[in-house]
Structure 1
Amino acid sequence: ALNTVIKLIRSVNTLSSGINLILAKNSLTESQFNLLDALFHLGYLTQKELGKKLLKSGGNITMVIDNLEKQGFVERRRGEKDRRTFAIHLTGEGRNKIKLVLPGIIKFTNDEMNILTSKEQHELQKMCKAIGLKKK
């Protein structure tokens, strides 16, 4: 099992390094990109929902949102049903940023993962999901 985990970690590190280079060229961190990507694909979410989706603590997600808000990529809007909550929305600038960065990330991941067939990629997804969902 240890040998498998080591190989998995090395593979993830290789992919992460390439993705982080693309993100750095676009002045984004991995956490910022993941948050923008989630909002782009899912629509607005509360801070709590984003933290849960991205596996980030409340304090960490607040910092990521603060930084993206300063850059004009997201905005906080009071909840319509519960005024104590804030929904995080992509701004037009944020939507443009993710549309600019996403094609490069997709191309990189496709290029890196094309050593596996579609079937192998699907099997890998299932295995990773099983590991990720394993009860503690």
Structure 2
Amino acid sequence: MTQEQFSKYSFLLDRTARKVKQYAQQKFNQMDYDVTVDQWLVLKNLAENELLSQTELAQLVFKDHPTLTRIIDILSKKGFVERIPHPQDRRSFQLHLTPQGLKKVSLLKPEIAQIREKAWENLDEKDFEEFKRILNTIYSNLE
């Protein structure tokens, strides 16, 4: 592949990722979900895992520590997330959803599934398999 082709494909990948996030955030705002897409990713990952350290959560949501700290602070103020002192390390905390956070996740999950389905319209099973294969290859190349 030439450098020019590589640049075009990289641009398409970046453009599409940005568009998906912009579309989702627009829908979040229209529906008044009271969370951003990034905040949703944190809530969803905390719902899928019992207790997580901030480092573990940062790896799951691909955020640096300062950015994640700001997100957690906002979600804590909203009453969705709680910091619990780590039992073996007094310097760190474990994160978990409050009952209000769990309720928020269960309310939003079906709504967000519909938003995601919009991006996948007009694609068939073969398209999904090829897309998955390509993305996994790109990911593996960078490990």
For 1:1-136, what aligned pairs fall within 5 Å after superposition? 1-24=6-29, 25-135=32-142
Inter-partner Cα distance in structure 1 for 2:128 and 2:49 = 24
Amino acid of the structure 2 residue aligned with 1:35: V
Inter-partner Cα distance in structure 1 for 2:114 and 2:7 = 31
Rg larger in structure = 2
Unaligned runs of 5+ in 2: 1-5
What CA deviation, in whole Å up to 9, does each residue of 1:29-85 have, x standing for no partner?
A: 122111001011122210111112112111111111111000000000011222322
Unaligned runs of 5+ in 1: none
Contact in 2 for aligned 1:75/1:88 (Cα 8 Å): yes
Inter-partner Cα distance in structure 2 for 1:76 and 1:53 = 17
- SS of match in other structure, 1:114: coil
Count the aligned residue pairs.
136
Contact in 2 for aligned 1:77/1:86 (Cα 8 Å): yes
- SS of match in other structure, 2:40: helix
| Bigger relative contact order (CA 8 A; separation at least 6) | 1
Q: Which consecutive aligned stretches of 4+ in structure 1 deviate over 6 angstroms post-superposition?
A: none
Identity of paired residues, percent?
Answer: 27
TM superposition shift of 1:13: 2.8
Q: CA RMSD in A?
A: 1.8
